Amino acid sequence: MLLMFDDKHKNHLSFLTDIDISVLQEFCKISIEFIKKGANTKVYQSAAQKLGVSAETVQNGVEGLMYLLTESSKLMINEIDFQDSILTLGFSEEMRQALLELYLDRRKEVRAILNQMSMELPHYHNLEWRFDVELASRSLRHQVTPTVTMKLHTEENGTTSTQVLQTDPTNLVHLTSVLEEALQEIKSPYCRRIVRNIK
């Protein structure tokens, strides 16, 4: 899976293509610190003075690298996809190699930080299900009424809760197809752009 960059992120990262490899490595360290602890304006000011650019340019470069690292780590993209993703950004071979090494060294750490920052929502723990068919009743001797009963176990903060759900197979198939469509839609570039802007 390749990362998609909008024009804003490409502009932020374009500043980094013209700097020295050692300066890029410093920017990488600052980006990791940004992910861990948040923005540090003093660091931006001192880096801007050394490079002779505005603090905003430095901040944009750091945020562009942070986006690159967090999105790559979140999606756990492989080495080839990572290199292909940054190929269009204008980095030299040496810079691409340095960014790849940083990504491979830090992706687990970045994922751990992102997990700590995420909201704790109820998540799937277990699912039990049973399929029942009513073949006849006193009033209707020849009928077939299938139902699916599910016991959904979810976990939140170490506490497990249970919900009992019941539906017929037609509704279950419809629900499944709607959820599959939603999963496909969230992978579209349009939805990824919206999610990125919400964050």
Residues paired with 124 in a beta bridge: 154
pLDDT tens column, 49-73: 777 888 888 788 888 888 888 888 8
Q: Are 195 and 187 in contact, with CB atoms under 8 Å apart?
A: no
pLDDT at 81: 83
Mean pLDDT over the full length of the chain: 81
Tokens of 171: 């509704």
pLDDT tens column, 93-150: 888 888 888 878 878 888 787 777 666 778 888 999 998 888 777 777 777 788 999 9
pLDDT at 102: 82
pLDDT at 20: 78
Q: In this structure, are strands 159-167 and 123-134 parallel, antiparallel, or unpaired? A: unpaired
Q: How many CA atoms lie within 13 A of 67 on its CB side?
A: 24
d(CA 121, CA 128): 21
d(CA 118, CA 143): 49
d(CA 27, CA 58): 9
Among the listed residues 168, 163, 143, 137, the one whose alpha carbon sits nearest the alpha carbon of residue 152: 163
Compare 34 and 127 and report the one with higher pLDDT. Answer: 127
Among the listed residues 30, 32, 4, the one whose alpha carbon sits nearest the alpha carbon of residue 114: 32
d(CA 152, CA 154): 6
Give, in degrees to the nearest 5, the angle at Cα 179 between 164 and 171: 55
pLDDT tens column, 150-177: 999 999 878 899 999 999 999 999 999 9
The residue to which tokens 């491979």 are assigned:
104
Count other Cβ atoms within 10 Å, centred on residue 33: 15
Distance of CA 61 to the CA centre of its chain: 20
DSSP alpha helix (H) spans, the chain: 7-14, 21-37, 41-51, 55-75, 79-87, 93-117, 169-186, 189-198
